[in-house]
Amino acid sequence: MLKSDRTFFLRPQDMIGIAVLAFLLIVILPLTLDNFRLQFVGKYLTYAFVALGLVLCWGYAGILSLGQGVFFGLGGYCMAMFLKLESSSVEATKIQTTPGIPDFMDWNQITELPYMWQPFNSLTLTLIAVILVPALFAFIVGFAMFKRRVGGVYFAIITQALAAIMTILIIGQQGYTGGINGITDLRTLNGWDIRTDSAKTILYFVCVALLIACILIAYFVKSSKLGRILVAMRDKEDRVRFSGYDVANFKVFVFCLAASLSAIGGAMFTLQVGFMSPSFVGIVPSIEMVIYAAVGGRLSILGAIYGTLLVNWAKTSFSESFPELWLFGLGGLFIAVVLIFPNGIAGLWQTYIAPRLGPLFGGTAARRASPPATPPAPPPSGSAAPAAAE
């Protein structure tokens, strides 16, 4: 499965996979679901950005971050701050003591717009901030930790602590962040009302387009030399280091990339759902996002999208009919995905379905060569699997 003879970064089966996903999201779902349900799918897809980042970061590079919600939140909050400022124009807020600032600031006796809110008056700056603020934050965290060779469980615990800190901070600093309610009552984007049904449908398609763009980026990273170094690093970090690569830099890069992807998801979430709150930042949502990637298959870029859709669909339908069963289901899913099918849906597909489909699309030999779902992490037995698993 070495790809030295190819110049293009997508293999034929990847292109088919992306086309099928695009067809499903762009044609089938909008035609079969009513508007209300389609908005749900749109919301789930914003989590898929996070899962996509986790596939690169966790599946390929072996860095489990339990703080992806922080980046999702940062992206979402950046967007929400812009929208909030737009909806708190002087005439819209003239009943406040200080007109022209967001309502929650007024309630908290803040009389002028805080310094850190100023850039968010501009849409361009906001869009840049959505990508850059989380990436910068990830860079600081990643640089400090990977340079000191902190990895594995320590990294997971510290990122989890960061998620906790961020939530407490957002809730505590009510006047600047909107506190536990978050930033609500968002109305327009550059004068365009985002609350109408038609706007929501358009935003859904924007979200799908962005997601597919991000999937292409992910495939590009995966099939580049960088992607192979990431896999090598995960399986035998020391060997990569002894071969002369600076392991930390690659880790920092993939962590920042995952952060930016999550942030795009967060921003799209704010646009589609119309609010942002700390309940998408903390420990619980962050670790739940890991399960999306795990269920889809931690090594499969497309699997992560299906995993996200499936888990969220299950969550919504269970919560509607048997709310108390959902946590049992989710807990069971965590355990099952670890013990029974560690490579997720993609792994099951690879083992049971793809071999049967193989003759239809060619490339049978390569498919057959992929071993059954072995857990990817432990060297040395699993080290051959990941390269072939996608």
Give the separation between CA 386 and CA 217, rounded to whole angstroms: 19
By CB under 8 A, name the one of 87, 93, 160, 270 that touches other proteins: 160
Binding mask 171-200 for other proteins (x = CB under 8 A): xx----------------------------
Looking at 18-26, 93-101, 102-110, 285-293, which segment touches other proteins (CB under 8 A)? 285-293
Looking at 45-53, 206-214, 329-337, 360-368, which segment touches other proteins (CB under 8 A)? 329-337
Give the separation between CA 389 and CA 283, rounded to whole angstroms: 30
Residue 46 token pair: 């914003």
Pair 62, 288: CB distance under 8 Å: no
Closest CA to 265 of 319, 207, 201, 217: 207
Looking at 43-51, 98-106, 238-246, 323-331, which segment touches other proteins (CB under 8 A)? 323-331
23 or 154: CB nearest other proteins: 154
For 84-205, strand residue ranges (E) read 188-189, 192-193
By CB under 8 A, name the one of 335, 360, 365, 380 that touches other proteins: 335
Closest CA to 45 of 251, 345, 296: 296
Strand partners, 183: 276
Provide the Cα torsion 207, 210, 215, 216; round to 10°: 150
By CB under 8 A, name the one of 92, 110, 113, 158 that touches other proteins: 158
148 or 239: CB nearest other proteins: 148
152 or 362: CB nearest other proteins: 152
By CB under 8 A, name the one of 125, 164, 199, 216 that touches other proteins: 164
> DSSP secondary structure string, 88-99?
T-TTTTTTSSST
9 or 326: CB nearest other proteins: 326
163 or 302: CB nearest other proteins: 163
> What's the one-letter identity of residue 50?
V
189: number of Cβ within 10 Å? 19
Does residue 156 bind other proteins (CB under 8 A)? yes
Number of residues binding to other proteins, judged by CB under 8 A: 45
Give the separation between CA 7 and CA 296, rounded to whole angstroms: 28
Residue 297 token pair: 């298959």
Q: What size, in residues, is the chain?
A: 390
157 or 209: CB nearest other proteins: 157
Give the separation between CA 46 and CA 229, rounded to whole angstroms: 28
Closest separation between CB of residue 346 and other proteins, Å?
17
Pair 336, 385: CB distance under 8 Å: no
Closest separation between CB of residue 136 and other proteins, Å?
16
Does residue 372 bind other proteins (CB under 8 A)? no
Looking at 101-109, 118-126, 263-271, 326-334, which segment touches other proteins (CB under 8 A)? 326-334
**Angle between the 197-223 and 225-235 helix axes, to the nearest 10 degrees?**
70
Q: Which residues contact other proteins by CB under 8 A?
A: 64, 66, 141, 144-145, 148-150, 152-154, 156-158, 160-162, 164-165, 168-169, 171-172, 283-284, 287, 290-291, 294, 324, 327-328, 330-335, 337-339, 342, 375, 377-378
